[in-house]
Every structure is written in structure tokens, then in C-alpha cells.
Chain A
Amino acid sequence: MNRHQAIEDQALDWLIRRDEPDWSDGDQAELDKWLDESMANRAAWLRAEHGWAQADRVRSLGAWENRPKSDYRRPIWVPTAIAASLLLAVGIGGYSLAPQFADQPAARQTRFDTPVGGHKVVSLADGSRIELNTESVVRAAVNEKRRDVWLDSGEAYFEVKHRDGEPFVVHAGSRTITVLGTKFSVRRDNDRVTVNVIEGRVRVDDGQGGNSSAAIITAGDTAIARAGSTLIAPKSEERVEGALAWRDGMLTFNLIPLSEVAAEFNRYNRTQLSVDPSAADIPIGGTFQASNVDAFARLLHDAYGLKTEQDGDRIKIST
């Protein structure tokens, strides 16, 4: 260990000792003596003490996952390779339990929904905004202590106002998404939950009791959670932007199989596309108006030479 590290190490030892309950005047005198030994000691001490005091700010913040007090006494530290992830999982237990209790919250709930093809922007009491995509239902309960939103179905984009120490929690099925202040979207397709982050970072929790796990995703990331697994797609601002094109009434695809593209259009329109298996795998790329399914069908016919056949509210597509 070189001199600099040795001194820094001693400064930290002093700092730890000083914060112990049994710190005495005698200890203080010893510390003063050490400080007077050299200016290098003093510099290291002042730096450590100041930095550590500044970090006190986190006391007021929900930066630490809150667990029920009784859990503290349980020896949960297993020094094995999986200890880290285990701890992480146990550490978030407090939030993981949230969905079960939170389904009957005390705060008054407000319900918002949109019809097929609908698009609605709502403002919450705390200044946060929610933009609802087609066929979506959200309930919001915002009070001084908590901010909870349930995405019952569909998709929504959130712009969360930062509030010190007061997280904003989105419940989407078995997942909870916890944020402090950021912009992101959440989409539910039955048991699959997709989270896109535009700004800041959010935490996605899989709240299944002892099995829970958490992932923190940052701007440009996409998390796709389904059953027990969470996939984090690597950073791609472009893809996230594409995933949010609906806010402008557009749909963006980057070489996605036609069957999936059709399913996407069907979310927005009464007229439903049905794709014959023969055409299901054709890759589609481009940006389209979500509401204009007829134009999309025509394009398939003109550009790809596919057969389109209208039958009431249904357009059949085949090769």
C-alpha cells in the first residue's frame, strides 16, 4: 500500500470509530493528535469527513430499499457467489410486497381509460403526466405519502415529477416499476410487461415473494418482463424512440415480421388485419400512421404484391 492509500485508510478508520456510540473524549484527543502529525493526515480527514457528511443527504431519500424492521435481525448474509443477488432480492422485499397490499390502497383512486384508437393525456395532482395509448386503463392514487399507478391494460407513457424521497410506483401485473423522476413508458400484453426509458432510470421489480428480482434500467434501455424472467435489451435510443412513436399517432417498425406488425395495427383500429401463415414472416420496416390501416393494407398489396381481401371489419392478407 502506498502512502496515499495508507493515510486515506486511516482517515476512514477514524471516521468509522468516531461514528460509533462509544466515542469518548480520549478518542477525540487521539484523533487530534493524529491530525496534528501531518497536513497529509489533516487533508485526508477533512476530505473524508466532508464527503461522508454530504452523503448524509441520502437519509431523506428513498434511496435505500425499505424492508420491514423485523427483517434486519435475520442473518441473510450468505457468503457465496449468489450472495449478492440474493441480498438484492431480499433487500427489495419491501417494495415487492407492495402489489398485494397496494391493490387495496387507502388513497382515493382515479380511473382513466381510452377506447380503441384513443389517445389521452392526464395530469396528476403531483404535476406528473400520463399519456394513455389505445385501449388502455390506468388507475392513479396520489397523496402526500405515496404515488401509485396501476396499469390494468394497454400502454402508457409517464413523465414523473421528481419529489424528494417519494417514489412513483407503477404496478403492471406482477411487476412494479419504481422511479423518482423520469420519463418512461410501460406496456402490458397479458403477462408480458415492456418498459422503455427515455430519461433517467427506473427500477423494475418482479414482486413474487421470496423469488423476487430487480433490474435497474437507464435511458435508452428496454426491459421486457414475462413470467419469471426479465430481459434487458441493450441501449438503443432509436428503438426506444420507435417504441414511443404512438405518442405522435405513428407506428415504427424495424424489420419486424408482418404478423407482429398486424397485431400492432390491430391495437389501434376496429378494422382488424389477419395475416395468413404464408405471409406471416415477411419483414416490415418503416413508419406508418396508426389509424390508417387501409393505407397500410394497400401498401402491402402495391409494394409486396400481397393479396388483400376486405371482409367487413376484417382484412385478410395472404401471398
Chain B
Amino acid sequence: MVDDEALNAWFVREVLPLERALTAYVRRNWRVAEDVFELRQDIYEHALVGARRELPSNTRAYMYTLARNHLINQAKRAQIVSFEIVADLDHEIMDFDMFGAERALTARDELRHAKAGIDKLPPRCREVMRLRKLDGLSTQEAAEALGVSTETVRQQLKYGMKALIDHMIGGSGKIVRPKFGRRASEETRS
């Protein structure tokens, strides 16, 4: 049995950095785009369940195998999915190198990355996030400062956090786009 602390640390240190590769892999091998995040979540769940017994020695190979098997099982179960997918995956060479670890980001890269994530947020959402993250206001204080309900603040905060977390971990703006409107840069007016 692996204890909570070790399990959590392993997940954050070794699994999350693979998220971009994992998401790309699922997307490539699954036709229904709406299912991708659901599938990813399932794979994470399986990963934790398996690692609870013993932490894998090679996380990349472990995640790759899990992802592949999960997709095959799901495809076999779901009638709507073509069996070509299963066949493709079955005959695929075990090439987990495509699960390349992300280049280690320097602090500066991360900073730039975070900045880019914030720039993507719509202005009102960014304002709430700023009050929270930079000024450290509580939900109640932020609501008073903006003259809106705490529920509104919480809602905006949630959108913003979700977008920023996706951006920091997955690095894909695509996840966020449909939910949010146009970029602030397009709001030029005279």
C-alpha cells in the first residue's frame, strides 16, 4: 500500500506533466471530441487505483498502457465507435516514446505561460481572479469590492480557475475557448 502523501506526490510530479501528451493521444485515437476529457479523467482514476498498490517504475509506459487499454475497452463497449479504432490500437507498436515528457519549463517560461493564460481570460473574470490571487481577498470581500453577489464571484472564479488550470497543466487554449468569448485584444473601441 502506498500512502496518500506518496501517491499524491507521484501523481503531481510524474503524471500531470504528461497531461498534454495524454490528451493529444486520446484525441488522436477517439473520434468523439466531447469524450476526451471524460476519458482522460477515467485514465487518471485508473492510474491512481493501480499506483495505490505500488508506484510504477516507469510512469510514461504505465500511463501509455493504461490509456491504450482504456480506449480499447471503451471502444468495445460503445457501439457507436468504429471497430477500426480498436484494430488500430491493437496493432499499434508499443511506442510510448510519443508520450514524450514535456521539456522542463524554466521559471521564466512558466511565468510567461501564466501570463498568457491570464491574457486569455475575459476582463470581468480576470478582475475577480486578480482580486483573489494578487490581493488575496476572500470571496466575500471581492463581492463587496465589485458590488456583486458572492455567488457571482464564485462563479467567475470557477471559470477563471478552470481556464487557468487547464492552461497551466494542459497548455491548450482550445479547452477554454468555447466557454469564453473573444479575447480582450479584440475589444478595441474608439
Q: Which residues of A contact B (CB under 8 A)?
A: 2-5, 7-9, 12-13, 15-16, 19-21, 35, 38-40, 42-44, 46-48, 50-52, 54-61, 63-65, 72-73, 75-77, 79, 83-85, 87-88, 91, 162, 164, 180, 201, 213-218, 228-230, 232
Contact partner, A46, options B12, B126, B133, Cβ 8 Å: B12
Closest partner residue, chain B, to A15 (CB atom) = B161
Asked whether A87 lies within 8 Å of B127 as measured between CB atoms, the reply is yes
Asked whether B161 lies within 8 Å of A85 as measured between CB atoms, the reply is no
Which secondary structure dominates chain A's binding surface? helix
Q: Which residues of B contact A (CB under 8 A)?
A: 4, 7-8, 11-12, 16, 19, 37-38, 41-42, 44-49, 52, 107-108, 110-112, 114-115, 117-119, 122-124, 126-127, 130-135, 138-139, 144-148, 154, 157-158, 161-162, 164-166, 168-169, 181, 183-185, 187-190
CA distance A230 to B42 in the complex (A): 48
CA distance A35 to B107 in the complex (A): 30
Q: Which residues of A contact B133 (CB under 8 A)?
A: 55-56, 58-59, 64
Contact partner, A47, options B4, B16, B131, B184, Cβ 8 Å: B16
Within the complex, the shortest CB–CB distance from B10 to chain A, in Å, comes to: 10
Within the complex, the shortest CB–CB distance from B190 to chain A, in Å, comes to: 3
Contact partner, A51, options B112, B119, B122, B164, Cβ 8 Å: B164
CA distance A161 to B2 in the complex (A): 47
Closest partner residue, chain B, to A35 (CB atom) = B4
Asked whether B122 lies within 8 Å of A84 as measured between CB atoms, the reply is yes
Within the complex, the shortest CB–CB distance from A290 to chain B, in Å, comes to: 31
Within the complex, the shortest CB–CB distance from B75 to chain A, in Å, comes to: 18
CA distance A200 to B16 in the complex (A): 28
Asked whether A216 lies within 8 Å of B158 as measured between CB atoms, the reply is no
Contact partner, B45, options A39, A63, A65, Cβ 8 Å: A39
Closest partner residue, chain B, to A73 (CB atom) = B145
Within the complex, the shortest CB–CB distance from A238 to chain B, in Å, comes to: 21
Asked whether B145 lies within 8 Å of A57 as measured between CB atoms, the reply is no
Known interface pairs A52-B164, A76-B146, A77-B146. Does A58 touch B118 (Cβ–Cβ under 8 Å)? Answer: yes
Contact partner, B158, options A12, A63, A64, Cβ 8 Å: A12
Closest partner residue, chain B, to A231 (CB atom) = B188
Asked whether A50 lies within 8 Å of B139 as measured between CB atoms, the reply is no
Asked whether A55 lies within 8 Å of B114 as measured between CB atoms, the reply is yes
A-B contact pairs, 19 of them (CB 8 A): A4-B42, A12-B162, A42-B8, A51-B165, A51-B168, A55-B133, A55-B165, A57-B107, A57-B111, A65-B130, A76-B146, A77-B146, A77-B147, A77-B148, A84-B181, A85-B189, A213-B189, A215-B187, A232-B185
